[in-house]
Amino acid sequence: MTTTTTPPPPNASGTASWRGVASEDQDELPEKVSVLLRARSRRLLGNLLRPYRKKITLLVGIIVVSNAAGLSIPFLVSIGIDSGIPPIRQGSGPSVLLTVVGVILAAAVTQAITRQAFLRLSGRIGQSILLELRRRVFDHFQRLSLSFHEQYTSGRVISRLTSDIEAIAELLQSGFDALVKAVLTMVGTAVLLLVLDVHLGLVALVPLPLLLLFTKWFRRQSAIVYRRTRETVALVIVHFVESMTGIRAVQAFRREPRNQEIFQQLNDDYRGANARSMQLGATFMTGIKLIGNMTIGGVLLYGGWLALHGEVKVGVLAAFLLYLRQFYEPMQEVSQFYNTLQSAGAALEKLSGVLEEEPSVPEPREPAALPPGGARGKVRFEGVRFAYVEEMPILPRLDLTIPAGQSVALVGATGAGKTTLAKLISRFYDPTEGRVLLDGVDLRTLDEPTLRQAVVMVTQENFLFSGTVADNIRFGSPDATDRQVREAAKAIGAHEFIAGLPDGYDTEVGKRGGRMSAGQRQLVAFARAFLADPAVLILDEATSSLDVPSERLVQRALRTILADRTALIIAHRLSTVEIADRVLVMERGEVVEDGPPARLIAASGRFAGLHQAWLDSLS
């Protein structure tokens, strides 16, 4: 992996200065792709293949039989010509010929059957491995902590699970079979040629070293060209997609001519890369064909001379001509297949890297239980310290108890540590020091289902999944009945607008007619959280994208929702804070004021000042 740590000078890319500079994408193919994978990729591969050890052994047996049968046919033809024809000429009947033809037919049938068996079995193994890999990587991504995802970004997660898996699928589907067949055919043919006639065989194999050198040259060139093609096409795609998704801005700002200019340039670069790739292919194909044809010519000349002097039979010469055809053709396939192998190798490399990541918020080995009767919702911070970077703690040391059922509002400027506090309670992160307790149990000892049943966080960026509105609300509690879903929506005040959608609760989210405003989406998210019915509910700026009427609606609902559960509310609107039992004013990771809103207003601290300013703005 190559990572640029020092920024290159601006405009280093010359003509493409419009793109700007970014740190090199860490996912790019490593500079020198070796077919020999790194240790971790090999481990993963071994691990994936292990369950199929017996089947693979069987597979090897089948393929050897299949190839032997296939290779024997031209040989049998030569026997037919050399030993079958003389008896007929001498009038002693075609019995030898018939035997040979019978054997050829048997070989042909054997080859077809074993070939089919091979294709099926190798296909099954390949697809099973692919399925296992898909499952493993997906599950692993879901297990990895939020801190990982925040750094890794969704785009990379998506390409791991789509294009990388597909690169491996491509290898299994199109390349693997061709490779095995080609290698076995070449080795088998070479051996057979030597067995048939050592001298002629040696002559036929003379160009082999040249061929190998040529192939090596091609592989190296093709790696470069392939990389260039991939890079250029990626730029074309990005520019195309961004122009289309951002068409509103493009048109509003008369960007079209400049876009066209850039696109044509990118498209032309892609054309150039493709042209080089095609020219390289042309050169290689020609080379192979040239070597093959010249060998055939040479064999014909030398073989003819040998036959002339009775040192080799005509049938053997015929067999040579047949074999040489199949000797050179697989070579082309193998080389074309090299790109597939290369990208699959790189993909495996990246996937094995992901699978080696450990969740920074691990599941407990022996999960503890909450007190009988489920969570009550008492939250306690004991000497909690939290820092992303050791020297700059977000929370230097926090001790705090929130009794079950209390609604707490967190107030403070950006960077005061409000969101960190919320993330610690929902265990998106673990504290650097100290512990966070729910009903007296350390969060780190609770297993995921128990914890998530008890603590739910609703943020500003709420995600709606494809599916209906009802499905999305039911995400909070997958077993809920339609009635319960409706009840939740009613409680939150979302029923009215949902009922007004084209298909009501069955409206597909995201499709036409199901397009919802940010506020409406947030109401669905609230209904989802309400349906989940957690003992502790955290709202992180959850109402900030709502317009005033929607917010008012939610606030009314919030009073009902918060009534019998612990709640932590982070909001910059004072109206939301008002419904809290207790207000915490935070500053640089510390609680500087703590008390019921009324008492804090009566005092002359920070909160009182804020409240006064708010009242003033209302008048």
Partner 1 sequence: MPPDTHKPRRPLLSSNSLWRMKSYLRPYATRLVFIWLAAIVGIGAGLALPLISEQVIDGPVAHGDSAGLLPLGLLAVGVGVVEALLIFFRRWAQVKPVLGLETRIRDDLYEHLQRLPMGFHGDWQSGQLLSRATTDLSTIRRFLGFGMLFLVMNILQLITVTVLLLNKYWPLGLLVLASSVPIVWTSLRFEKRYIKISRQVQDEQGDLATLVEESALGIRTIKAFGRRHHVYDRYDDAALKVYGSSMSKVRLSAKFFSFLEIIPNITLALVLLLGALAVGSGALTLGALVAFTTLMLQLVWPIASLGYILAMGQEAMTSADRLMEVMDTVPAIEGGTQTIERPRGHLRFEGVGFRFADADEPVLRDVWLEVKPGETVAVVGATGAGKTTLTALVPRLLDPTSGRVTIDGQDVRDLKLTTLRQVVATAFEEPTLFSMSVRENLMLGRRDATEEELAAAIQTAQAMFVYDLPWGLDTRIGEQGLSLSGGQRQRLALARAVLSRPRILVLDDTLSALDVETEALVEEALRHVLREATGIVVAHRASTVLLADKVALLRDGTITHVGQHQELLAQVPEYRELLAQDADFDGASEGALR
**19-58 binders of partner 1 (CB under 8 A):** 19-23, 25
Residue range at the interface with partner 1 (CB under 8 A); choices 182-190, 332-340, 444-452, 556-564: 444-452
Token digits of residue 605 = 């601290």
Range 302-341, binding partner 1 (CB under 8 A): 304-305, 307-308, 314, 317-318, 321-322, 325
User: For the chain, what is the largest distance between any 2 Cα atoms, rounded to a whole number of angstroms?
Assistant: 126
Subset of 521-550 contacting partner 1 (CB under 8 A): 525, 528, 532, 545, 547-550
Report the nearest approach of partner 1 to the CB of residue 256 (Å).
Answer: 5
Q: Rule CB under 8 A: choose which of 3, 10, 14, 358 binds partner 1.
A: 10
Q: Nearest-5° angle of CA 231, CA 351, CA 152?
A: 75
Q: Which stretch binds partner 1 (CB under 8 A): 49-57, 341-349, 374-382, 450-458?
A: 450-458
Q: Residue 546 to residues 196, 437, 539: CA-CA distances in angstroms?
A: 85, 32, 13
Residues 155-184 interacting with partner 1 (rule: CB under 8 A)? 155, 157-158, 161-162, 166, 169, 173
Q: Are the C-beta atoms of 111 and 70 separated by less than 8 Å? A: yes
Does residue 340 sit in helix, strand or coil? helix
* Contacts of residue 361, Cβ cutoff 8 Å, sequence gap at least 6: 145, 146, 147, 427, 428, 429, 430
Contact region with partner 1 (CB under 8 A), list: 31-39, 224-232, 430-438, 457-465: 457-465
Using CA atoms, how far residue 582 sits from 111, 135, 596, in Å, is: 81, 45, 4
Q: What is the spatial distance between Cα 481 and Cα 467, in angstroms, rounded to a whole number? A: 16
Looking at beta carbons only, is 84 or 330 nearer to partner 1? 84
Tokens for 431?
């504290």
Q: How far is the CB of 38 from partner 1 (least distance, A)?
A: 25
- CA-closest candidate to residue 319, choices 330, 308, 327: 327
**Residue numbers 213-242 binding partner 1 by CB under 8 A:** 233, 236-242
> With CB under 8 A as the contact rule, which of the stretches 49-57, 214-222, 394-402, 443-451 interacts with partner 1?
443-451
Our finding on whether 417 is near partner 1 (CB under 8 A) is no
Residues numbered 65-84 forming contacts with partner 1, rule: CB under 8 A = 70, 73, 77, 80-81, 84
Name the nearest CA neighbour of 176 among 302, 281, 49: 49
Nearest approach in angstroms of CB 36 to partner 1 is 28
Nearer to partner 1, 4 or 401 (CB): 4
Exposure of 181 by Cβ count < 10 A (0-12 exposed, 13-18 middle, 19+ buried)?
Answer: buried
Q: 52 burial class (0-12, 13-18, 19+ CB within 10 angstroms)?
A: middle
Q: Which stretch binds partner 1 (CB under 8 A): 189-197, 486-494, 559-567, 602-610?
A: 602-610
Across 124-153, b (16+ Cβ under 10 Å) vs e yields ebbeebbeebeebbeebbeebbebbeeebe
Residue 401 sits in the site that holds partner 1 (CB under 8 A): no
Residue 399 binds to partner 1 (criterion: CB under 8 A): no
Contacts of partner 1 in 110-129 (CB under 8 A): 111-113, 115-116, 119-120, 123-124, 126-128
Exactly one of 99, 221, 259, 432 binds partner 1 (CB under 8 A); that residue is: 259
Strands 407-411 and 433-438: unpaired
Count of residues interacting with partner 1 (CB under 8 A) = 178
Contact residue for partner 1 among 222, 232, 406, 462 (CB under 8 A): 462
Can you give the C-alpha Rg of the chain in angstroms?
Answer: 36
Pick the closer one to partner 1 by CB: 348 or 525: 525
Do 499 and 485 form a contact (C-beta atoms < 8 A)? no
441 and 372 Cβ atoms separated by less than 8 Å: no
Q: Contacting partner 1 (CB under 8 A), which of 24, 139, 311, 482?
A: 139
Least distance to partner 1, CB of residue 122, Å: 9
